Amino acid sequence: MKETDQTLIDKATSWTREPFDQETRQAVKHMIQEGGDALTDAFYRNLEFGTGGMRGIMGPGTNRMNKYTIGMSTQGLANYLKEQFGVGNASVAIAFDCRNNSPFFAQICADVLSGNGFEVLVFNGLRPTPELSFAIRHYKCRAGIMITASHNPKEYNGFKVYWDDGAQLVPPHDVRVVEEALKIESIKQVIWTGDPSRIRQLGRETDRLYTDQVKTLSMLSKDVIEQYADMPIVYSPLHGTGTELVPMALQAFGFSNVFSVQEQSITDGNFPTVVSPNPEEGEALEMAIELAQRKGADLVMATDPDADRVGIAVRNHQGDFVLLNGNETAVIIIHYLLEQWKQNQRIDGRQYIVKTIVTSYLIDKIAKSFDVECFNVLTGFKYIAEVMRNLEGKKEYIAGGEESYGLLVGDFVRDKDAVSACCIIAEAAAFARSRSMTLYGMLQKIHADYGLYKEHLVSVTRHGKKGAEEISAMMDRFRTQPPRELAGAEVVEVRDYKTGLITSIPGDETKPAGLATSNVLQFLLSDGSLITMRPSGTEPKIKFYFSVHDNQWNPNKESWEEGISRLLSRIDKIQLALDISN
């Protein structure tokens, strides 16, 4: 056995005895014998809630997703619900995606909750995250659980907790649920035996109720939809939960010529056709683009395994497919929605949209031009939902978005929703056709009207305990020794959301940041460029977000592609000056 901290060995050894099951005991014994990083990474900490809940690699250990960490977390939730609402006064909805062990983990959650006296509504098969959010609200549940690891590789799974408004947990509930879970020091404190009489299945009726609501989001006239109903659309669920509901919703909108990638419509937690089921990555859309070439489609869409995020590819002016990033898609869709709201005379000064602080500030500019308020929140869709909850009955929500391919149109769901987003994207493409344009052309026209903007994300991955320490040290360095200039532009403002202060440079004048505390740091440069850095709450990486723009861009003097290339070169120089690498 390799040298390992004795405290960690003692912690792992407790997993080699009853009441842990035989398979777990044997696996941990083998890990202890081997020692090294595998044992350390599995036991050096407990899984924690991040911006997307609890997410980790599956396997035995306190830092792994398994029936014991799931059960203890569920018991912590049950204890908190008892404290808030009393026993017998709450129901909880549960959904799960296509990942390996997802149905098993969902059953563990249902057993623990029903064993604690709660009514449990669990879907009878895999369903998208947004449908869970809808079900919580529709059936007036007190909470919900989604078993998913979103777009992470096949080794991962996750446990996302929702509150009674259908949104992910925010303070103080998230902290208190974790506190309750931490009070459980032994799996013997978990009520593992379920009560089947308290468990009810949800099925097609809920699907119909949800898709009926999605249909209400349509903005185009019936005549325009009918004119472009046969517009070819290619869709891939990437082996996940969008397999049935996305094509169903598109047909409900009136689009009758939808082609699904058959090889990727097979639900499979091993994701056999992709390296990673992440619609942010071009490789994940390759099969869909090949099908689009054969079918003559101009629009390709792909959703991640739990169908809350969507990536798209569109044809450029040369007829080649190009991928749009999350910022570009959000810009097109929000501009389209605001234009339709204005045309339908529905804007009266009460409307608003929400985005995150790392999402394109072109959206702020667009919203202002339509007399619609734009709120900026911390990264994580739960903060968008928090604004919606606080403004319910006071202002009218139109849409929200984040750069990581998440969109939410309408307020009957309180998390990002790729099912409805696919429908609105298709509708925007039909609208573009009615104007003799494409989505690619729409994006160029928006830039011509509002200025040229470009955003870029760099993720630096560091694995295990050592990697977590490196990421922490990197943040500490930028926080205590912020650069004075980057690529020829001075740093004029440091926004530190951990301290809650915005500091102007020079002068060191400070003012409150106005958002919740979070380990996020931003540098604003004299040319308007904005650099944001934050450790991921759900993955072993630190993310650097770059945003640059040119308000003086003239499409008559420089092509759109040349202007974007120039801005990307600017981002490269800033990245080089920061001295970061993966």
Closest-CA residue to 226 (of 437, 435, 442, 434): 434
Q: Is the dihedral of CA 334, 336, 339, 341 positive or negative?
A: negative
Cis peptide before 172 (omega within 30 of 0): yes
Q: Is the dihedral of CA 387, 392, 398, 404 positive or negative?
A: positive
Contacts of 315 (CB under 8 A, 6+ apart): 298, 321, 322, 438, 440
One-letter amino acid for residue 340 of the chain: Q
Q: At what angle do helices 129-138 and 204-215 cross, to 10 degrees?
A: 90
Closest-CA residue to 93 (of 54, 57, 133): 133
Return the number of other C-beta atoms located less than 10 Å from residue 323's C-beta: 18
Place of tokens 């990942």: 99
| CB of 538 closer than 8 Å to CB of 52 | yes
Catalytic residue among 73, 150, 360, 404: 150
| CB of 184 closer than 8 Å to CB of 104 | no
235-246 CB burial, b ≥16 within 10 A, e <16: bbbbbbbbbbbb
Task: Report the distance separating Cα 170 and Cα 176, nearest Å.
Answer: 10
DSSP lists the bridge partners of residue 447 as none
Is 150 assigned a catalytic role? yes
Task: Report the distance separating Cα 518 and Cα 531, nearest Å.
Answer: 16
Instruction: Put residue 49 in one of left, alpha, beta given phi > 0 → left and psi -120 to 50 → alpha.
Output: beta
Helix/strand/coil for 500:
coil
Task: Report the distance separating Cα 451 and Cα 420, nearest Å.
Answer: 29
Helix/strand/coil for 489:
strand
Q: What are the CA-CA distances from residue 216 to residues 411, 499, 520 (Å)?
A: 11, 43, 37
Q: Mind telling me the catalytic residues?
A: 150
